[in-house]
Every structure is written in C-alpha cells, then in structure tokens.
Amino acid sequence: MSGKDGRQARELARIWPVAWVGFADHEPAVTGHPYTDDDHVDPAWKPQDLADIVKYLRQAPALVGQTRPEPCRLCGEMLASATFHFDGEWLWPDSLPHLVERHDFVLPDRLVARIRAHAYRPPITTFGPEAKLPWPARC
C-alpha cells in the first residue's frame, strides 16, 4: 500500500498540532497538502503496547451520529460512520483504531503519550456541548 519509508508519517506524528486525528477530509488545513493515505502510514511503527493503545481508542466514550456503516478507504471493510470517540481532550472517528491496527497508521506522539499516561484506560469524561469538542474546522 505504501511505497514510502514512513518518515513523513513519523514527522507528522511528531508535529501534529491539533487534538483530532483521522479526519482525512480536514487534513489539508493542517498539513498544507492534499491528503494521501501514505501521510500516516509507517509499517515499521509497531509499539510494544499497540494492542493496549488500540483498545483505548475503542473504549473511549463514543458519540454515535449514525449507524449505517461505510467501507474503509483502504480495504473495504465496513466500519461505523459518523461515530466518534472523545477522551476529554482528543477526538477521533471510530475508524481510527481499524486504521492503526490494520493499516500501520501512526498516531500523533502527544496522543500516544496521553494514552500511556492514563495507563490505557480512557478517562471518564462527558461530551458536553457538541460545539466545545475539538472538531476539525468546518469547511
């Protein structure tokens, strides 16, 4: 899938400046270039605690917008759409753990550090007003 060596993925993970991740349509505003799946893929990124990190991504409180599944961009597996997780600071779509687990998607360093700091247990949080969540800028 990726012809790159993962350098760009690791650099993006290091500098990622926002508290959301996995919203491909909104990434050009952050990266300054059109989104490609290669942007976050590094087959060499295999942290020892990857399974615990993925579990955290799945267990964080979820906001379910709709239940109709949509296919993964990369493999076609049907995934929940318009379903998001929020851990009190970071926001991500329900498809993110699939991308991490199956497609070598590298998470932002700050998010990984947060997950480890919470010992892989999502903090108890409430969503509060939807407008207060760190959504990508509306187009």
- Span 77-106, contacts to Zn ion by CB under 5 A: 77
Does 1 help bind Zn ion (rule: CB under 5 A)?
no
Q: Of these, 1, 51, 75, 113, which contacts Zn ion (CB under 5 A)?
A: 75
Q: Of these, 24, 62, 63, 74, which contacts Zn ion (CB under 5 A)?
A: 74
For residues 14-46, one letter each, b for 16 or more C-beta atoms within 10 angstroms of the residue's C-beta and e for the rest, the string is eebebbbbbbbebbeebeeeeeeeebbbbeebe
User: Whats the size of the chain, residue-wise?
Assistant: 139
Site stretch for Zn ion (CB under 5 A), options 7-15, 35-43, 70-78, 122-130? 70-78
Q: Of these, 4, 72, 118, 120, which contacts Zn ion (CB under 5 A)?
A: 72
Q: What angle do CA 4, 19, 75 make, to 5 degrees?
A: 40
Residues forming the site for Zn ion (CB under 5 A): 72, 74-75, 77
